[in-house]
Structure formats: C-alpha cells, structure tokens
Amino acid sequence: MLTRRRLMALSAAQVFAPGLLIGRGHAQTPQADYPNKPVRFIVPVAAGGPTDIVARMLGDKLSRLWGQQVVVENKGGAGTNIGNEYVANADADGYTVLFATASLAVNTSLYRSLSYDPVADFAPVSLVTELGYFVFVPNSSPAHSMKEFIDYARSRSGKLTIASPGTGSAPFLAEMLFLQTAGIQMTHVPYRGAAPAFADLVPGRVDCYFGSGALLPYARSGQVRVLASTGPKRDAAAPDVPTIAESGVPGYDVTAWQALFVPAKTPPAIVRKISASTNTALSDPEIKDKLAKSGYVAEGSSPEALGKLLKSEIAKWSSVIKSVGIKID
C-alpha cells in the first residue's frame, strides 16, 4: 500500500527545479507574470469551519508572497460537490483554485452520480495539510489498549456499538475501514454531528468513537480513554498513543487531508508556480505552528505526488464503501 508520507516525499525537489520555474525569457506570456490579478480559493464547505480557517490562513500567506490578493469563496453543500463542480467547470487559467478535502476522493464512490471526474477534471497542485484521528472509548470500557479492545470486540461480535458524526463522514469511513481490516463486527450508530456522538460516548451509551485531536483534552482530564491513532505513525499531538497499525491491524492508515487542485487544462507552468509557492508558504514556522495548534500537520507536495495520493485514496475508499453498501443519491 502506498503510504502518504512516502507519496509526499516524492520529488519535492521537482517543485523547485529551476527548469520548471515559469516566466524566464517569456515575460509576454500569461504564465510569466502569474498572478497579475486576484486568485480565488473555492472552499467547498461553509465558512467558519476548520477547512475554511486553513484556506484563509494559506491564502493570506500566498497573498503576501505574490503581491496579489487571494480571495476565499465558500461554495458549500452536497458533501463538497457544489464547490468541486464549480472549479471543474471554471476557466483553466490558474485564477480559480479548489481548496479540496479528502471528500474529493471519497465522493466518486459514495454518490450515485457526479457531474465531474476527480481525476480527469482536475490538475493536482499540492497537498496542504494532514489530520489524523484517534480512537476513544468510555472509561467504563474494559479495554485499556487497542489490542484489548480488538479482542473484546471480537468476543462480542456485533454487540458493541461504534458512533460516527453521520454515514459517509470521514470518521465513519475511518471506522468502517478499521472494522473491515481488523475483521470485526460492530453496530454503527450514526449521529447528526460530532458533538452529540461524543456526548453519548462519555457516559458509555456507545462503545467507541473515532474523533479528532481536539478531543484529546477530554482523555487527558480522565473523562474518556484514548486507545490509538489512525495515521501511519504516532501523532505528534499524542506521541505516547500507539497507532492502530502497531496495535494488531498492520497496514491500517487513515489520515484526512486538504489539498489544492485547479481545472484540468491549466497550463503546467502555472500549476508549478502555485505548487512551489504553496510549499514555500507551508515551510514558514508561523504557519506550521498555527496549523499544529489546530491539530494539523503542514504537508506540501509536488503535483505528481498529490496525483498519486488522490488515485490511491479513490481506490481505498471505493473498496470500503462497496463493502458497507452505502450510496447517496
């Protein structure tokens, strides 16, 4: 299985290779002085949430690097499909950029019909962030480690419950992949959001929940127990917490991500410039620190590495979604 870290390590130097920098000797071409007007970031979710905040943070840094304003526009709805479709049909000139989430890889299998193709209709630019999840159980659980929980769940096949913020959500898919990979049967309990799901976990009304690092303070204060993280290696936010992979489910890896894409026919020179600038912005210690405080890891990439990541994520989630038999009209 392709690991995300390995993918992101691919050809980082390519992004900055001198032969790929645009505009040398061609000042009269549109690519040479890009951007010469404001650039739009299309965020396919509502304003005010974590994805919107990160987009504005990156946009502000790029505005300063380019000397041109990056305008963030929120086009949420239909599980990010409205914003995704908007960018797929936009002019391929580099001035309309999709600030995508992992839903771009998931939706092609989750929805019965899409008006865009996540591979054919977009050109990958750069990864922006990664965000892992953690496995939480109530204090009343007899399991004090992930290995103990797996054994416990297997001994009570189908009787334990696992909560999610809703069918099709990122934590739901992480949970379904865990059950599939570990060979465990549990009863899924969908909620309308993360808050009510976690609220029922604390008193033990449900047996397990996959949540973000924002919930770690509840574990540190003794209100719940954290058993594992979902990424390929231990999360910097809780380095003492083992991964699911090292707890008896080898190969398990779920990391949410955010990335930049542009319409498919955008000139390669412009794609390279946006990618190089994004990697420069993400290397800034101030940006790294701000993202880390929100649980994110700043993680730039080359366009090629992001393209490989997208294809591997589509294949992974297609298998999971097919196995649980869910489709959204």
Question: What's the farthest any 2 CA atoms get from each other in the chain?
Answer: 70
pLDDT digits (tens, 9 = 90+) for 32-66: 799 999 999 999 988 888 889 999 999 999 999 99
pLDDT number for residue 192: 84
Neighbouring residues of 147: CB distance < 8 A, sequence distance ≥ 6? 247, 248
Given a contact cutoff of 8 angstroms between Cβ atoms, the answer to whether 149 and 141 are in contact is yes
As a whole number of angstroms, the distance between CA 42 and CA 146 comes to 39
Given a contact cutoff of 8 angstroms between Cβ atoms, the answer to whether 257 and 50 are in contact is no
Candidates 41, 32, 30, 18; CA nearest to 281 is: 41
Residue range(s) occupied by CATH 3.40.190.10 in the chain: 132-247
As a whole number of angstroms, the distance between CA 55 and CA 76 comes to 14
Stretches where the chain sits below pLDDT 50 are 1-2, 7, 9-27
- Looking at domain 4-131+256-324, what is its CATH homologous superfamily? Bordetella uptake gene, domain 1 (3.40.190.150)
pLDDT digits (tens, 9 = 90+) for 234-285: 998 899 999 999 999 999 999 999 999 999 999 999 999 999 999 999 999 9
Strand 187-190 and strand 122-138: the pairing is unpaired
As a whole number of angstroms, the distance between CA 55 and CA 50 comes to 9
Which one is the CATH code of 132-247: 1.20.810.10, 3.20.20.60, 3.40.50.150, 3.40.190.10? 3.40.190.10
Outline where DSSP puts E strands in the chain: 39-43, 70-74, 96-101, 122-138, 161-164, 187-190, 208-212, 224-229, 255-263, 297-298
Neighbouring residues of 170: CB distance < 8 A, sequence distance ≥ 6? 102, 103, 106, 133, 256
pLDDT number for residue 327: 87
Residue range(s) occupied by CATH 3.40.190.150 in the chain: 4-131+256-324
pLDDT number for residue 211: 92
**Lookup: tokens for 128:** 């922006």
Q: Report helix, strand and coil shares of the chain as percent, to nearest 5.
A: 40, 20, 40
Given a contact cutoff of 8 angstroms between Cβ atoms, the answer to whether 53 and 295 are in contact is no
Strand partners, 144: none
